[in-house]
Structure formats: C-alpha cells, structure tokens
Amino acid sequence: MTSSRIAFIVNPHSGNGSTRSKWPVIQALAKDRLGSFRCYMTQGVGDAKQIARNAIVNGAELVVCVGGDGTLNEVINGIMSHEESVRSGLVVGVVPNGTGCDFIKTVSIPTDIHQAIDLIAARSIRSIDLGNLVFQDFNGRNSSRYFHNVASFGLGGEVAHRVNKTTKTFGPFISFLWSTLICIFQYGKKKIRFKVDDGIEQEFNVWNVAVANGQFHGAGMWIAPNASVDDGLFHITVIGDLTLPEVFSSLPKLYNGKVNDIDKVISLTGKKIEALTYHRALLEVDGEQPGMLPTVINMVPGALKIISKTKELV
C-alpha cells in the first residue's frame, strides 16, 4: 500500500494524555511493519470522525485508530457516513490506548503496542455488527450515531458524564468505579418504558439498561457475557429494582461474568430496542455521553471489517 492507502488517526489526549508520549514508538513500529502511511492528529471532540471521512475520500483502505473506545467510535461514525459501496473495501485497525478500551477484550486486540502493530500487519480480518441509535441531543433535536461496543441508559450515562468531566489520573478502573459509586447515591433508579423487537412495551424501575454488541464496558464491567459482535443480535442487560444493599453486594458479579446471576437482572436479546422515560435519562455510547432518551436502537449486521485475532473469511 502507498501512504495514502493507510491512515493513522491518533488521539494524543487519550489515555489521560499518554498517547502523545507513546506515539513516537508507535510511529516507528508502524513504519517498520506497515511501510509509509499518513498520520492525522486529533485536536478535539469530533475531529476523528471528520478525519476518517476525509481519509476515505482520499483513498484510504486501512484506517488505524490510536486511542480508546471514544476515539474508535468517532472513527467508525466517519466511516459509516459514506455509502456502503464507498466503504465496502475498507478495513479498521486499532492500537488501543485510552480511558475506556473495553471493546478490545471482546475481539481479542492486544494492549501491547508491538503485538497490536504485528496484528495489523498480519491482516487478520473479521466482519462485525454495529448498532445505530436515534436519540435526543442536548438541544432537543433528533440525532443519530453508530456504536461498536455498548449503548446504555440510566446510571451508565451519568457515570460517563462524570468520568469525562473529572481527572483520570488514577487510571480507568478507579475512575469508572469511583464515578459509579458516587452516581449510585446521587442518581437513583428511573422508570424506563421500552420494548424489544415486536414485543410488548414494558415498564421497569431500573438502575441501568445496557444494549450490548461487545461484552464489556465501564473499564471492565462484564455487562453482557454472552454477547458476540457477529451474531446479528444485541444482548440486553437490565439492572432492575435492586435496593442499595443489593447493589453493593452484587458489584463483584458485574466484573466476574456472573451479572446474570443477580436477582432482578433481566437478560434479553433482540435487533431493535425502543426506550423512553418521563424523567431525564442520559445515554452512554461507547464511553461517551451524546444525549438522552427517548431512543430507538437498531442492529446493523456485518457493517464493518476490523482486524482482530479471530479471523473470519469475508
């Protein structure tokens, strides 16, 4: 590939700013293993989306995201802004370094820089599903966004809002756990009305609802142990009407894969979710906080090609 065929989109602010210092090493490794490429540094929110969109116009066939789930979300949204005929031959690679790098646990992308670059060079490609949600932004307008990992509403949106507004000096796990504990006391449960596919609309008193394509979110919470990125289904985890003592006694099960063993947790699968509430309920989308309910979430099967350890013929 020539340099215009490979585009690296780098968020130097990701990983609490550590990507900036790591980039010279990543750049040298990438040049050695992949040859020449174009590099684009993001400056702020929304840059990665526009850069990805433009890179495809300029002939990129491999787009490599250097950052966390939020940066990858922007890159994917830039790619998906093109028609399928334009993006059909495109492949996405990931060099993970961010506050939230939950998606890589599901698709087996290594955190080690050398191994991540070697994996991209090996070109082990699989097709993955994406979710698309229409929701209300903070100006009261309908907005649309794709996600690769998890979209949640309820406590998840409040936690994402707090994490993104506070320091991440103590690392992603502590940042998310501390924000979760604070929001448990400040937020409370909300009545959410939603339905899955063509089922009956139901009302639940919930702490959080996670609509999962990947298995993990919130810096390691194993929220959907049975989720798969290529089964054409969302795995939906409803954390229901738990008392505060029940919430705290159940916290370990949110991290060890036993979330479905918690009483008042409901597990569902489906391709479409519609949700609304009469209260303010924030959304969390791949670790970012773009808006609030109401929302309609649809599955987009086989939407994207990504490099991971698990190879699938495409």
* Residues 258, 203 share a domain: yes
Residue 251 lies in a domain: yes
- Angle of helix 18-34 relative to helix 113-122, nearest 10 degrees, comes to 40
* Residues 162, 247 share a domain: yes
Q: In terms of Cα–Cα distance, which of 103, 53, 56, 80 is closest to 298?
A: 80
Task: Specify the CATH number for the domain of residue 288.
Answer: 2.60.200.40
Residue 214 lies in a domain: yes
* Residues 145, 111 share a domain: no
Residue 307 lies in a domain: no
* Residues 280, 138 share a domain: yes
**Count of alpha carbons within 13 Å of 289, Cβ hemisphere only?**
16
Residue 187 lies in a domain: yes
pTM for the whole thing? Answer: 0.90
Note down the domain range covering 198. Answer: 131-302
pLDDT band, very low/low/confident/very high, at 313 (cuts 50, 70, 90): very low
Give per-residue pLDDT as tens, 264-305: 999 999 999 999 998 888 899 998 889 999 999 999 999 999
β pairing state of 190-196 and 272-276: antiparallel
**End of a domain among 66, 91, 123?**
123
Task: Specify the CATH number for the domain of residue 77.
Answer: 3.40.50.10330
* Residues 117, 35 share a domain: yes
Please state, for a pLDDT cut of 90, what percent of the chain lies above it.
69
Residue 41 lies in a domain: yes
Phi-psi region of 222 (alpha: psi -120 to 50; beta: other; left: phi over 0): beta
Residue 310 lies in a domain: no
**Is 70 exceeded by the pLDDT of residue 168?**
no
Domain count of the fold of the chain: 2
* Residues 157, 79 share a domain: no
